[in-house]
Amino acid sequence: MPILPIDAGRYGSNEMKMIFEEEKSLEYQLEFEAVVAEVQAELGLIPIDASKEILEIVKSKRIKIKRIKELESRTEHDTAAMVEAISELSNIAKPWIHYGLTSYDVIDTRISMQVRDALIIIKDKLKQIIRILIGYAEKYKDLPAVGRTHGQHASIISFGLKFAVWLTDLIAHLEHLDELKHRVLLCKTLGVVGTGSLMGRNALKVQEMVSKRLGLYAVDAATQVISRERIAELLQFIALVGSTLDKIAIEIRNLQRSEIYEVAEPFREGQMGSSAVPVKRNPIKSERISSLARILRANSNISLENIGLWHERDLSNSANERFIIPTSFILLDEMLNDMLKVLNGLKINEERIKANIELSKGQIFAEFVLDAMIKKGIARSDAYRLVQRIAFNAYERNLNLLEALKMEEDILKILTINELEEIFNAKNHLAAAPLIIENVIKKARNIIAH
């Protein structure tokens, strides 16, 4: 009976979950054992016939999870149980199975193999999101909108700039993904305390050859385990990507608020926003993204705690890594899937975006009035106080700032009516935003092409 939502099929795609399933994990470990034996035979460390038999057993798929669990119930050691399961099916290879290895050579390299395949899925979905954001950034680069700081109307922005900023963040994550591979996709075959012990000076050659055949990188130095800084960087990367998705989701949730309503999540036919209120259209996917991001950040903190192990290793990292590594990948995968659904069907209300600019009755243009006065030679402090007085007075009297300014002789001595009206045209204040967006789009298209 499923206990966790992941087990019940609630979160994550089948392609991602398959990577971390018991059967697939066993396949990775058996593949590692076979490749190590193959390389050792080529270097004369074990008999060729032994290597061939190990490979045949692995390819036969006769080793089953059920049998390994039966053996583990006696040994209380999962890797030893796997080795014994191989041995049960062998004849000449019995002395040479798992030769010169320790359990965490198998486990750490298996984790790297899983991460190798999981990162391919993550990278592809990041690229899909980037493609969607390119479209939005391009479409809305010339649409003025309210820019908000501290939850207050601050100045005019291009609505497309929101998407360009998210693009910039996701581009950085794609770059980080490629950069971290040689640090986290590590292969280790150096045995009990990282010296290569039984394989002697050939140990490094074995590790290098095995690494290349598995599409991994040979660890430079390790104890019984690969240093947990590597896993921590991986989990920090996942948490960072998750936090960016959270940031996007928070903005969508805020912009969907009834009093703003500039965007809305897609709402399919038959969907229910509330069990009690028929008219509700809740941003549930964005809220789920924000919720799951908190788990990713918590998992990354656990990975930092795992860095300090005793001497050449202890087991204090082992149990929690069985949770935090697969869970982090599966939940990030779910968040990416949700974000793709949200962005693919995002409703953007251009009329509301334009109308919201007028909510402050022109107060949002105060920055530009100040700038125009300064350019006329008025001291900043004098101009600031004058605009502030008029703006605050207009707010109290529920007047539009433009009309209030037109009634002020002190303003009309500095700026003409035509100049004031030009200032209150939102399209005149996009400044460098369209160029910024175009530059980001160009970079985004270049990175997803590779």
Cα 133 to Cα 221: distance, rounded to the nearest angstrom: 42
Phi, psi at residue 160, to the nearest 5°?
-65, -20
Pairwise CA distance, residues 339 & 437, whole Å: 21
User: Catalytic residue at 274?
Assistant: yes
Catalytic residue among 60, 73, 150, 311: 150
Tokens of 147: 């820019």
The continuous run of DSSP H or E covering 211 comes out as helix 203-214
Q: What are phi and psi of 440, to 5 degrees?
A: -65, -45
Cα 24 to Cα 184: distance, rounded to the nearest angstrom: 20
Of 13, 87, 227, 274, catalytic: 274
87 catalytic? Reply is: no
Q: Return d(Cα 73, Cα 62) in angstroms, integer.
A: 20
Max CA distance (Å), the chain: 103
Cα–Cα distances (Å) from 196 to 82, 210, 401, in that order, read: 21, 14, 77
H or E element that contains 157: strand 152-158
Residue 242, φ and ψ in degrees, nearest 5? -60, -35
| Token output for 393 | 């007075």
Active centre residues (catalytic): 150, 274
